[in-house]
Amino acid sequence: MPILVAPLAGMALNMGNAMDEREYMTGMIEGAKAAGSITFTCDGPSPIFFELGLELLKKSQGWGVPTIKPRPEETFVEMARQMEQCGVPAIATDIDAAGIVHMKRAGQPAGPWPFAVWERTISRVKLPVILKGVMTAAEAKLAAEAGAAGIIVSNHGGRVLDHTPGTAEVLPEIAAAVKGRLKVFVDGGVRSGTDVLKMIALGAEAVFIGRPMAVAAVGGGPEGVALLLNHYAEQLGTAMIYTGCNTLADIGPSVLWPIRNE
Ligand SMILES: Cc1cc2nc3c(=O)[nH]c(=O)nc-3n(C[C@H](O)[C@H](O)[C@H](O)COP(=O)(O)O)c2cc1C
């Protein structure tokens, strides 16, 4: 299942209290599980984000990946240790939260930290660490050198810095630079199974979907999340039939006609 659920939370902060935060995160985690996918949970200025993730990931026996904000080293390592106890397969961190306004306002530093700090922090976390928010090949190479197990090519849904390029534009160069050294994931505006096919053709190994999954969770709980993921997976299957791809590994640049004709 190459379609994963991006970290996205904050009913009070971001979604006009559309529903109870626990009910929402349960929908995201359990719905993804039912569709054979996985949800990345969040961290934020209020402890509720991390604590809820911890509680629900424990309950789901580690079926999810916590995204810990790029907090100071000791705090990050301690939070990662708590998550390790839940049986999660990896830890992610949204390094592009370095300038994020909610964390600044709450007086909680979220980087940016120098390369040496990341190298040491990653070496101190037992689980694979995925860096989210990589937008250049140079940065992706640094992530590999620092020991990251994966990167998520992401501009945080356009929420952190205006005028950043789209992720589909930067993905091929990044994938060419580091694929094979670490896992390359992507998010940003993926809205159909055909979009998933395109992102894989551009070099991603799996994609994340954010905002539509939140809409599904608010509207339909776990069933809504599972329904939408299954819908995207079915569309991907259809797109694979029409492009002659039997397996995900068959999806390459040749399915994108402008590149094929170059
Ligand atoms: C309301 C909202 C909250 C988000 N919170 C987080 C977060 O806590 N951590 C994180 O890494 N990304 C966060 N994101 C970014 C998403 O994970 C994702 O990168 C982005 O929405 C792009 O994917 P999409 O276009 O499919 O929504 C948030 C996005 C939105 C819209």
pLDDT at 259: 54
Q: Name residue 66's beta-bridge partners.
A: 41
* pLDDT tens per residue across span 93-124: 999 999 888 898 999 999 999 999 999 999 99
Contacts of 234 (CB under 8 A, 6+ apart): 193
pLDDT at 13: 86
**pLDDT band at 262, cuts 50/70/90?**
low
Which of 154, 156, 199, 228 to probe ligand 1 with, by most ligand atoms within 8 A of CB?
A: 156
Residues recorded for the chain:
262
pLDDT at 99: 87
Residue 125 near residue 80 (C-beta atoms within 8 A): yes
- Laid out side by side, the sheet with 3-5 consists of 3-5, 206-209, 183-187, 150-153, 129-134, 91-94
pLDDT at 257: 80
Pocket of ligand 1 (CB under 6 A): 6-10, 14, 42, 44, 67, 94, 132, 154, 156-157, 159, 187-190, 209-211
Gap between the Cα atoms of 3 and 108, Å rounded: 32
